[in-house]
Structure 1
Amino acid sequence: MTNDTSMPDKNLSRSMSLSKFASVLLIGAYLGILFTKSEVACWERIHDMFLFKEAYMYLIISLAIVVAMVSMFLIKKLGITTVDGKPIVYEPKPYHTGVIIGGMLFGAGWAITGACPGPIYAQIGGGAWMALFTLAGALSGMFCYAALKPRLPH
């Protein structure tokens, strides 16, 4: 889901109230605790998933898909807006070669580091300081993508 803006609001911090910042912070803290307690941010769980040793992570991912489907339905049905009051609009991404290449790179990084983007912060918050290298890799990958985007298959 994306919101309906073409450029980010440079004055976002000034336009959001303290209560909105606090609510976002609380949701982030809740997700960090949830990721840690459910062991979604646990390297061993991710490793076992990719080796097909246990179904735990597949069940978690399936549940996340169901929650996302219900959430998207409710957002559309109830006309829920962003914290800035803008409508939330779902725009399907077109399928192309870059999706396959990006998916393989994402999966390889996930298998090696034991974290997709969300759990990186939960790992760091839980004291897994090696996750700082994962964060550095994710950020450098993001910047490389931004620099190479005009030359990539889209």
Structure 2
Amino acid sequence: MSDTERHPLFMPLILVGGLIFGFGLGFSHMARPEVVLDFLQFEDFGLVFVMFGGAIVTGIVYFLAPRLLGEPLLTKRRFERRLKPFDKNVIIGGSIFGVGWGLSGICPGAAYASLGVGNVTILWALAGMFVGAYAQGLVRSRIDAGDAATTSAD
């Protein structure tokens, strides 16, 4: 299903969900890097409760939505699990993400919420995220181009 075939409320509901998520991060103080760093140093366990609350809501929705709705109301796609293979890229990418999270004290979603609570210095972390994502895209496109050239030469 293309973007033009989606329900007209799809994008506004994404915006509302993001606003609720950002407000929740700000309200719980998880948009403040020092709070996250305290969690990573085992000094403040508030983040566990925030993550646990999100996991409970997500679990309930993933369990009940297919049974109650039959199909998603906004996208009309089938409910299904989309599994990504657990490979070296997941381990390497997760490790790099974890190091960045530990150094900056913030993950991408919370970084945007951190701007909303007045943390302007987080722009350095956001710039790093954009540059890192761009660099990964360049590396991936070169690897894919090299694989395609090797395959066509065979």
TM-score over 0.5 for the pair: yes
- Give TM-score, length-normalised by structure 2: 0.76
Q: RMSD of aligned C-alpha atoms?
A: 2.5
For residues 39-78 of structure 1, the aligned pairs below 5 Å read 39-78=29-68
State the match for 1:94 in structure 2: 85
Moved >4 Å (runs of 4+)? 13-16
Paired residues in the alignment total: 142
SS for the counterpart of 1:89 is coil
* CA shift in 2, pair 1:110/1:69, >3 Å: same
* CA shift in 2, pair 1:93/1:82, >3 Å: farther
Shift, 1:123, TM fit: 0.8
Structure with the higher fraction of residues in helix conformation? 2
* CA shift in 2, pair 1:15/1:65, >3 Å: closer
Distance 1:80 1:13 in 2: 18
SS for the counterpart of 1:134 is helix
Bigger CA radius of gyration: 2
Unaligned 5+ runs, structure 2: 145-154
Selected match of 2:98 from 93, 97, 107: 107
* CA shift in 2, pair 1:81/1:14, >3 Å: closer
Deviations 1:36-56 (A, max 9, x none): 001111112111111111221
Q: Does 1:129 align with 2:133?
A: no
Alignment identity in percent?
A: 26
